[in-house]
Amino acid sequence: SQGLCRREARQSGRGFPTASMAPGGQLEKEQRMGFFQTILVVLVFLPLLMVASHNFLQNFTAAVPRHWCYIPAGDNDTTEVTGDLLKIYIPMDGNQEPDRCLRFSTPQWQLLAPNGTSTNATEPCLDGWAYDRNVFNSTIITEWHLVCGKRALKDFAQSIYMAGVLVGALVFGSLADRLGRRALLLWSLLQVGVMGTGAAFAPNLAAYCTFRFFSGTGTAGFILNSISLTMEWIPSQFRAMVATVLACSLTLGQLLLAGLAYAIRDWRQLQLASSVPFFLFFLYSWWIPESARWLIVNHRPEMALRNLRRVSRINGEKLEREGISLETLRLEMQQEEESSGPSRRSALELFRTAPMRGITCCLMMAWFSNNFSFYHLALDLQRFGGISIFLVQLIFGAVDVPFRMLVAVAANRLGRRLTQAACLFLGGLFILASIPVPQDMEVLLIALTVLGKGLFSSSSSCSYLYTTELYPTVIRQTGLGVTNMMARLGAVAAPMVQMTQAFVSFLPLLLFGAVPITAGILVNCLPETLGDPLADTMKQVEDRARKKRSKKEELKKEARGTKKTKF
């Protein structure tokens, strides 16, 4: 077998990439982005655009239009119900708008007289509701009458989707470390396409929520595996830039959603338009190769060798004699096994050693707090009642772009840790600053909201990059899955916390501001990864933590020595 390996090694010298494309530390020495890496980023960028559409889709498909009780004597299917007809059948609320949930028990014809008064006898909308269709032709609200006593079902439907994302983050993250990034990426794309299309044809709310749940699991699986697979093919000096580009796709997706929703006012057609492209993404993603890092760690050096050769061919690199051979890959695999023991895949491994416990706990808090506050700011667009919902979505999406670009520069100049901590801390401060602002100062409130949301978007970009670099290859997807699960818990908790406003008006904003500030402080306990190669084994993470701890102790000793000398 040794002779066979030598022959393969000699053969690999003709037709295999340079050493710079080898996994592990050698990959970090690659000084440029090859043609393959550029294509990979583009192919992942496009479906990420549409993922944002699914995350924020209910801002439009579940928009609540003006509505009032069905009027038996009128044409309720049109938007031109006369003011006199409404005055006879529908009482006015405190804002002199037609009441949304009550009607007069009997027609109040006397109200047509100049000084007419009503009997004030009202009843619920026993015959259903009529809707203002000037903005939307139909939404799930108008189709299944999710208003008045059923209005909580709107938030329930969004929570079901977020629960699906939570489950997907946990399940697909763990499975990817066993089955590979590519297989789960393909499955996730197909699942989003099938389930999203199914939701467009759902006959009732229960079916709609079921399809949305599995669509959410698919979007989580795609985000996790696409980013991890991309980062494992990207040299370290380009990771911050690539992470920012991929994060900007989620931001640009919000702009795309605003355009789609403006052009398509029917919720079923909008749902379909957001889902069908995933079938195309599924087809072309078969071209993407599996991560060479994952293949080596999982004892498949032959496949890793084929993928590395293919990448070298696409990049047009000159083939040198000192290329990576099957023998080299097997030797690296053997060394990793000897240094770290058998590979484990359980999420419990994230808490097995002190360095991993510290990393995991701090990251879980950072991810939770980021989504906890972000979705509070991003999902309730109709609270800015005086501004078009399409314009608000456009502003919220556009403002994220400069923030995400800025975080790429900051992560490479200031480091991942300081950038992550600053985004969380400042985002929380902007939310706290909005507490004393009166509600009639809408411009100031929108400005604080936009700044806070932009910082949390930047924090999200940095989180994907930082988490990918902190966890080793053998358990990277499991770590991303667990931290993403905490992020989705934050998204689920946000509307629940908002309900406490009924008891203490400022309590939700206090929590939405204080939690990310606390997380920003805790992030400073994490190790810096700027310029470090990706770790492949648990031992490499522990060794890195040990070296940095020793370096800190040496600096402290030098500082104490300097003080004594001066004294």
CB-based contact 189:282 (threshold 8 Å): yes
For the residues 122-144, what does the mean pLDDT come to? 82
List the helix and strand counts (H, then E) for the chain: 21, 4
pTM of the model: 0.71
Predicted confidence at residue 425, as pLDDT, reads 95
pLDDT of 2 strictly over 50: no
CB-based contact 59:256 (threshold 8 Å): no
Identify which has the larger pLDDT, 85 or 42.
42
Q: Where are the alpha helices (DSSP H) in 180-291?
A: 181-200, 205-231, 236-263, 267-275, 277-284
Predicted confidence at residue 369, as pLDDT, reads 92
CB-based contact 225:181 (threshold 8 Å): yes
For the residues 388-404, what does the mean pLDDT come to? 78
- Mean pLDDT taken over the chain: 78
pLDDT 10s digits, 227-285: 888 888 887 778 778 877 887 787 788 888 888 888 998 999 999 999 999 999 999 98
Q: Which helix (H) or strand (E) holds 7?
A: helix 2-12
**Could you tell me the end-to-end alpha-carbon distance of the chain, in angstroms, rounded to an integer?**
68
Confidence of residue 196 (pLDDT cuts 50, 70, 90): very high
pLDDT of 114 strictly over 80: no
Share of the chain above pLDDT 90, in %: 17
Q: Spell 2-17 as b/e; 16+ CB within 10 A means b.
A: eeeeeebbeebeeebb
Confidence of residue 458 (pLDDT cuts 50, 70, 90): confident
pLDDT of 533 strictly over 70: yes
- 């992470």: which residue's tokens? 243
The neighbour count for residue 448, using CB atoms within 10 Å, is 20
Q: What gap in Å lies between CA 73 and CA 85, rounded to an integer?
A: 8
pLDDT of 303 strictly over 90: no
pLDDT of 545 strictly over 60: yes
Predicted confidence at residue 159, as pLDDT, reads 80
Strands (E), 21-148: 67-69, 102-104, 122-124, 129-131
Confidence of residue 113 (pLDDT cuts 50, 70, 90): low
Confidence of residue 502 (pLDDT cuts 50, 70, 90): low
CB-based contact 53:353 (threshold 8 Å): no
pLDDT of 172 strictly over 60: yes
Beta bridge partners of 129: 69
pLDDT of 444 strictly over 90: no
Least confidently predicted of 37-41, 189-193, 227-231: 227-231
